[in-house]
Structure 1
Amino acid sequence: MAGTGSLMNEQRGKIRYWKRYFSLLMIGVCLGGAGMIFWYGHQLEELMLENRSLKLVNERLYKDLASLKQTQKAAQKRQDAVIELIRVQIDEPKPHAIIETEVIRRLEKDLAPLKGKKAEQLVELPPLLHELLRRREYVIEGNMVEVRLKTVVIVSRVLSLTVTAEVKHDGTS
């Protein structure tokens, strides 16, 4: 019987031995889990702070964008393209220099009322100008000069016209 008691003590020792390791394992699991939760909570808190700061930055940028759009609209209203200059060029065949200069001067004088008009208003202008200048005639230096419009270009604040000037007859004939 002496052998059975020692066998029982030996089994109890093995059970205590496993209980000890199992309890150490459970304590390690609990401490590790607590550490992971602490680390995860810390990371989550940092992300929440970053999210809040990004929301504030986003809100500020939206306000800046809205104010920039308003400023741009106001600047665009102030800066509507207005015709400030009328440029006339005479295409081939070029008449005598005096006639060319006088035709340019008279055309610029005739088209002067277009200065100060908005470029958007002048979108329908080319057909109208073609009709007006289809057979415009000037008497210059005793010569009848017929002016015909070839092209109309509106660039920024400049109205550019290209015309032909044909001397019909000499006043000396």
Structure 2
Amino acid sequence: MAGSGTGGLFTLAWGVFATGLGTIVATDFRGAAHAAARSRGTSVRFQRVVAAVFALVGPVVLVVGVRELMRGKAVGGDMPRLPVPFLLFRAFAVAVALWTMWRPGGWVRRAWAAGGVLRQGAAAVTALTWIGFALGLGFGQQIVMLVSWLLGGAAGLILLLLEDPAEERGRPGAGPTR
């Protein structure tokens, strides 16, 4: 990985996200594996096995990222400017994603409605990082993309940890999992 040119910040973000999410889903913390299985239409066992792989590989990638940062390799090379049609498609995709998150019944809207400064802050950061990632991609700013990705992943993990599994089971459409 050190020679791939991705830079330590990308590797660090990937390692943090893989370790955190992998551990949470693999251990089925607060019903995370069940929620993932419901949202993807797969079995809980499959979700936990895949998450376990991420939980095992994540710390290795995290250490590699820290080593790259210590060597002064924060980011890889410059990113090329993207063509306008791709940027328009990306803007549309982000708009659809934000609508899906904030629509009534969307996961960010539910977190916001549950109240609490931490939940509402994490919900807002999650939505803002989608915009930051798209802007970083559009303007070729890799550092903006990576920081957005890292902050969005951390905010998403906070929302996942604060989610109440009993509340999820009582929601319409949250039927039994395989």
Bigger radius of gyration, 1 or 2?
1
Indicate the TM-score class for this superposition, using the shorter chain for normalisation. under 0.3
- TM-score normalised over the length of structure 1: 0.21
- TM-score normalised over the length of structure 2: 0.21
Between structures 1 and 2, the one with greater strand share: 1
Between structures 1 and 2, the one with greater helix share: 2
